[in-house]
Structure 1
């Protein structure tokens, strides 16, 4: 394997890497501080489309993690960037929360249930049968199906919750139409994020806790990858996948000295 160039920019997942169930993971504060002091470009990424970047900044700040708004990249922002590139000034029927609706408003999209260009499915804690039925009928009527991320479950203090990917599967079953997923592991989310901070994949690293989204996305975007064992993937899980991370570490604390 060819030797990689030194890491000049960092992308890191949020849940399972920096925080876990609303509590910062030991070493996360030191890692973020080291990044900010170094002046290196960095992004905190999340496939969760519920919150705006400003919401997430406030949440992280309450936990002692000082991350500027411009250094937060969500699947909602990646979805909005994709739609703005594909069909500027379009229309969409949206199932989701403020993170997604705000991102679409900010690119000048009109949110409507009357013959929209797109049906856009994102994360919400209140998926309604009525909204899903409307989405099915609009897609059958010609609307293109877009989904913020493919995660089938999400974490909660009580255990896993059905997430966007699971609801997308229901709509696909009812329509026969597969969605286009904008979030991880689509390398589009990584490349648009890299572009946002002026970084290049050959000198960038991706840190994540999931093989099927974080590591795969980093790999397909051409970045060095670090798997941390503080989230969903265990060391035993690694060999179940046909690809491997560049590096495996116990936690984000092990990477402070790499910045």
Structure 2
């Protein structure tokens, strides 16, 4: 059994624009061969773990559903801990609504305990207006993640953080963001694995979410340069990852001792 537990982001680390990042399959195979505990994390709340497993399979990665942790699952677990059996008005897709249903929540647009905002490709002006009025009437405002934009083949898409800003501006109420960079998502992932922060590594491609939340949760952090952040942009942040690698492929053969001889520590 490896002494390390791994949390790894999905987009920009294992896959990039629906294509396998070279070496990602070997990296996951090595974790399984060494009985190393791991979870694949994503701020994307659109899909259920089953959906994401199917998506990853199409790229050539075989990740069991129970090894996938989303901001939707973290949000549902958080709300269950705050108000078990509560109610919510939800703007989002199946990943979020399914997670909330499985947590025992009732979804309603009549006097809900919470307005929960997630990601969708079809944001509705009518639904956003309803959310604003419910928050004004006293519903608590929760959002799955603060990402302002999401990727697509055509370019950036408005994401949860942008719509949250619109609702916040209209209501004067700030949302509570559950997903990265909130370390709550890391801690809920660790609890689901029965792991501890001092023996866990977070791998990500973004300084502002992955590395930030990893540091806040007390984890070791590895930045890979196959996604958003570059060596140059990483220098602008007041915090540093433990290790910077060109790609996840650079961890193959060293997952049990990633910070050993030859590692380029920052």
- Listed as ranges, the matches of 1:145-156 within 5 Å are 145-156=141-152
Count residues with an aligned counterpart: 254
- Listed as ranges, the matches of 1:41-190 within 5 Å are 41-190=37-186
> C-alpha separation between the residues in 2 aligned to 1:162 and 1:58?
24
Q: Which residue of 2 aligns with 1:230?
A: 226
> C-alpha separation between the residues in 1 aligned to 2:98 and 2:87?
14
> C-alpha separation between the residues in 1 aligned to 2:3 and 2:171?
44
Question: What is the TM-score with the length of structure 1 in the denominator?
Answer: 0.97
> C-alpha separation between the residues in 2 aligned to 1:61 and 1:142?
43
Match among 212, 215, 221 for residue 211 of structure 2 = 215
Deviation digits for residues 47-71 of structure 1, max 9, x if unmatched?
Answer: 0000000110111112111111111
Report the aligned-residue RMSD.
Answer: 0.8
The runs of 5 or more residues in structure 2 that have no matched partner are 256-266
> C-alpha separation between the residues in 2 aligned to 1:170 and 1:115?
21
Deviation digits for residues 194-221 of structure 1, max 9, x if unmatched?
Answer: 1101111100000000000000010000
**SS state of the match for residue 240, structure 1?**
coil
Residue pair 1:7, 1:205 contacting (<8 A) in 2 also: no
Q: Runs ≥4 in structure 1, deviation > 6 angstroms?
A: none
Question: What is the TM-score with the length of structure 2 in the denominator?
Answer: 0.94
**SS state of the match for residue 173, structure 1?**
helix
**SS state of the match for residue 258, structure 1?**
coil
> C-alpha separation between the residues in 1 aligned to 2:196 and 2:72?
22
Between 61-70 and 41-50, report the one with greater CA deviation: 61-70
Deviation digits for residues 90-131 of structure 1, max 9, x if unmatched?
Answer: 000000000000000001100000000000000000001111
